[in-house]
Chain A
Amino acid sequence: MWHIIITSLPEMISAMLQYTIPLAIISFILGLILAVLTALIKFIQPSENKLVKYPWLVLRAIADFYVWLFRSTPLLVQLFIIFFGLPSAGVELSPFIAAVIGFSLNTGAYASETIRSALMSVPQDQWDAAFTLNFTTKQTLMKIVLPQAVRIALPPLSNSFIGLVKDTSLASSITILEMFQVSQQITAKNYQPLLMYSLAAFLYAVVCTLLTFLQHYLERRTSRYVKGSEA
């Protein structure tokens, strides 16, 4: 048994470093950017100025549609449409790019709601105090509201990130040789499904455990100002 593990580990770890982790990190960063933009579009009330208000309402409709679309359809189906479907519409993407687009859009849709709820959880009192000091909306967001929202959003965003790491296994279905796909290929040769898939599960768990530590570290850092926090 140890022999099998030792011979297959390098291949699986290499697939993890080459695909699983880059896919997760790149998609999460892009998804997070998308999520913040989407959340802000939905959260901020546009000024009465018609030149701002109507374009803003159009953006908001697009944001609503986007979140609805990606939350209402399965991630696997989204990946299939992007990779296998779009070529018939003349858009051909490499498997990696297709996977990044699918994962980012999917993560962005869910995380935007997380961020929006974190923004809503900062009391109106904070906005009042900022406005009486003549902060603009943007300054209030940057200096007051977002730093407080980040702390609140961290645990659920960590959920999304950990979920994404595991969801990268779906990329195997669009021909990417990520870790799970590699474990399937090795299984096909050595007929050890229990051992090989357990090994894959173990490696996912290792990555997710490290992420949990990162989450705890970030939580401590962003909670410095909260009463009773250790720092």
Chain B
Amino acid sequence: MISLKNVIKTYDGKEVLKNISVDFPDGKTTVILGPSGSGKSTLLRSLDLLVRPDSGTLSFSDISLDYAQPVTKKKSFDIRKKTSMVFQNWNLFPNLTVIENITTAPITVLKQSKEETEKRARQLLSQVGLAEYADRYPSQLSGGQQQRISICRALAMNPEYILLDEPTSALDPELETQVLLILEELSKMDQSMIIVTHNMQFARSVADKIVFVEDGEILFDGSPKDFFEHPTTRIKDFLSGITFDDSKKLK
């Protein structure tokens, strides 16, 4: 389990995480929801130390870390070894082929053998339906294909948790579906995942737990059932605000 306690992060005097405490259980899919600029991404990135909060603690099974103290290289390595991030714009390495994108880190960082790593990479690629693209460059593929590859890249590091930062926000609906199906599959296989998303239908179908963040605070932390069936007034507003229907006309 990953636990954050009393996490505070400010950018230029503005508090973006206000004393946040939250747990992300093992083997479950936690979905983080909330309006843009609420601090969702900052929260997710704090788990992987891409963002360094000002204070608070992170505990991750046997590792604990005080954000206010200097972090040793070893500790940051150990934490990042347990997590892998999938980004909104996938951030594949354009200078490497698809297969190199997946294998370079396991070979360089985990010192795995080249043959083993490539074998596993090809397996992952065929699982996401992209086996025949192994030797292409990312720029030759669609956004949805690139995002599926970036999921393979994350999985190849055998992380305990996969962190996904709006993985489908930059995709059109058809490509989005291809990616969501893979995530649903992973969720069914009890892969620990934390997903920031705006797709409510998806959140509803895969989430084991929902965390609703607004203005750097957690306004809801519980089951999807409670979230969607017994929403608070604010959540009701949020859910209706992102639904398109004819009852809302611009006044």
- Chain A residues with CB under 8 Å of chain B are 48-49, 125-126, 128-135, 139, 143-144, 147-148, 151, 224-227
Contact = CB atoms under 8 A, between A and B. Distances in A.
Contact of B108 (A128, A139, A148, A151): A139
B157 A129 contact: no
Contacts of A148: 94-95
Contacts of B138: 225
B17 interface: no
A134 B104 contact: no
B94 A226 contact: yes
B140 A128 contact: no
Contacts of A224: 137
15 contacts: A48-B70, A126-B91, A128-B85, A131-B49, A131-B50, A131-B80, A134-B80, A139-B109, A143-B93, A143-B96, A144-B95, A144-B96, A148-B94, A151-B95, A226-B94
A225 B96 CA distance: 8
Nearest to B77: A134
Instruction: Give the interface size class of chain B.
Output: 20 to 34
A151 B137 CA distance: 15
A interface SS class:
helix
Nearest to A139: B108
Interface in B16-56: 48-50
| Minimum-distance CB pairs A-B, first 5 | A133-B105, A129-B91, A132-B85, A227-B139, A225-B137
Contact of B153 (A128, A133, A227): A133
B89 interface: yes
Nearest to B92: A129
A124 B81 CA distance: 20
Contacts of B70: 48-49
B139 A225 contact: yes
A130 B96 CA distance: 13
